[in-house]
Amino acid sequence: MENIEKASLSGLNGQKGVVYNDGELAFFDNMHDIYSLLSPIRLEIYVVVLVRKGRASVMVNGTTYEAKENDIFICSPNNILDNGMLSIDFEGLCICFSSAYVQRIIPLAGNSVELKVIFDNNPICALTPEEVSVFCQYYDLLRLKIQYTSSVIQKKVIDTIMLALVYDMQIVLNRVAPIRLRSFTARETIFKHFLDLLDSSYPKQRTVAYYADKLNITPKYLSSICKQVGNQKASDIIDKFVVKDIDYLMKHSSKSIKEIAGELDFPNLSFFGKYVKKHFGMSPKAYRAYVLEEASRVCES
């Protein structure tokens, strides 16, 4: 098992027909020329494939799945793919995501556990012609946009489009999930409640102990759950949500930096400054100036 080839985003960079973006995303439709699945590979990335024509089959962790026209195949990291076959007339669209990107985007949708559970149980879902049309529109727009990601604002645009795609896919899952969804484990349920607490609270507390107390568990146990179910540290997940609030207020509020620090329940301006410096790579004052400069560039263009 140690010699199994690993499928990563870096392995796609530079390949013909692949549109690649900063180690986070890759788009391509030339699957005949990419990875050969005649030998096993271990995914280090999330893979989404929409079959537009023909058929494809692949073994995932020892179970064979077959996808036909209008089926979508979704597979997460650490799964082993083998015995892959594409029909001669196969055509498809593929999006690959890094784990870091999914962890950054999916929690904002509030249902990352549900998505993971569903697709780990059955990675293939049949789409209606209308759903296929919507997916293709997202694919074409995202593929175009990631070629122009020179600014922070452009990357935010991509994140927003991707989040919209996630929400549209959840609408699809509401139709198909009841026949596939297994019961959550106790740990998955706690993890979901943790995300719900983070999503609904404002201002957000920044300690693991606070949320552990709300969930009636120990901080150590919550940290263990986050590592196992979410593949992240509990503190890192909390930071992602806090950073999102800071980013929003910096960009969309006329409040002073001191007022923002107070609104988000930071003990003092100095602590807030260190926190922003750590997560944004610059001081609050410098980040706000950067945001204003980027907004000005967009207006001028």
Instruction: Name the token pair of 249.
Output: 């207020």
Partnered with residue 75 across adjacent β-strands are: 47
* Res 5: pLDDT: 77
Specify whether the CB–CB gap between 219 and 259 falls below 8 A: no
Q: Is the pLDDT of residue 156 over 90?
A: no
Q: Give, in degrees to the nearest 5, the angle at Cα 30 between 27 and 36.
A: 105
186-300 shares the fold of 5-179: no
CATH for 186-300, options being 1.10.645.10, 1.10.10.60, 2.30.30.90, 3.40.50.1220: 1.10.10.60
Q: Is the pLDDT of residue 131 over 90?
A: yes
Partnered with residue 126 across adjacent β-strands are: 71
pTM, entire model: 0.59
3-state secondary structure of 95: strand
Question: Could you give the residue ranges of the DSSP H alpha helices within the chain?
Answer: 99-105, 112-121, 129-145, 152-176, 186-200, 208-214, 219-229, 234-252, 257-263, 269-280, 284-300
Domain ranges of the chain: 5-179, 186-300
* pLDDT tens digits for range 269-287: 999 999 999 999 999 999 9
Topology given in CATH for the domain delimited by 5-179:
Jelly Rolls (2.60.120)
